[in-house]
Amino acid sequence: MSGTDAAESTGSTGAVTTPPASSATSSRVTAGRRIPTSVLLTCAALGVAGAVLLGPANWASTLLSGGLPFVSMGLAGLWLLPSVIALRLLRRPLVGLLVGLLTGLVLVPFSGYGFSSVLTNLWWAAFTELPFLFVLWRYWGTWMHYVGAVAVGVVYPISAWAWFDLGSLPLFAQATFFAVTIASCVGATALGILVADRLRRAGVGGRHLPPKA
């Protein structure tokens, strides 16, 4: 029986029946887990903005990856930007992945890669989320954003080793490739933190922030 039904029930003396404590507690827990509409709208806006940014960046990166792979890697960090902003601004579990998903979905008709754009954006967004997953989203230290940036800056060149034929390059060029990728990811993360902090000072997203650890 819901709290409303219980409140309307009366005994033989006409007294209002009090709902069971367990039912009231369950209702409070359910309400506490509900994601506010404003948070969902913020994620949607960030997803669309991310797609507007990554649409041209995707084509530029594709064109540069053949003859100028180092320049292409200078754009790599842009794929982290929407999710970093979401996590920094909202400080809620999985908003980074949600924004990555929405960005990928918006990009599907424009990227030239179809639905693989969704998987690509989720892959990059996962690295922004992972550091906070390890602490179960109970701590939101600034430095944790950079942990994800450095991690993806190292993992991406390894995963794309064959695509860029890095094995054919001299050791110095390989090291430069890693350095450029890491620098791009760290730089984009710093930009995302800056944008999120300014949005919060402007009153965006701050209303539903969880308490600091």
Q: pLDDT digit string (tens) for 153-172?
A: 999 999 999 888 888 889 99
Among 121, 4, 103, 126, residue whose Cα is nearest residue 45? 103
pLDDT of residue 206: 61
Cβ distance 184 to 77 under 8 Å? yes
Which residues in the chain come in under a pLDDT of 50?
1-32, 211, 213
Determine the Cα–Cα distance for residues 25 and 23; give it in Å rounded to an integer.
Answer: 5
- Model pLDDT for residues 132-159, shown as the tens digit of each residue: 999 999 999 999 999 999 999 999 999 9
Q: Report DSSP state, residue 16.
A: B
Among 171, 152, 149, residue whose Cα is nearest residue 160? 152
Determine the Cα–Cα distance for residues 92 and 137; give it in Å rounded to an integer.
Answer: 7
> Counting beta carbons within 10 angstroms of the beta carbon of residue 54, is it exposed (0 to 12), middle (13 to 18) or buried (19 or more)?
buried
pLDDT of residue 165: 87
Determine the Cα–Cα distance for residues 111 and 206; give it in Å rounded to an integer.
Answer: 33
pLDDT of residue 7: 42
Among 93, 100, 94, 95, residue whose Cα is nearest residue 47? 100
| Single pTM value for the model | 0.80
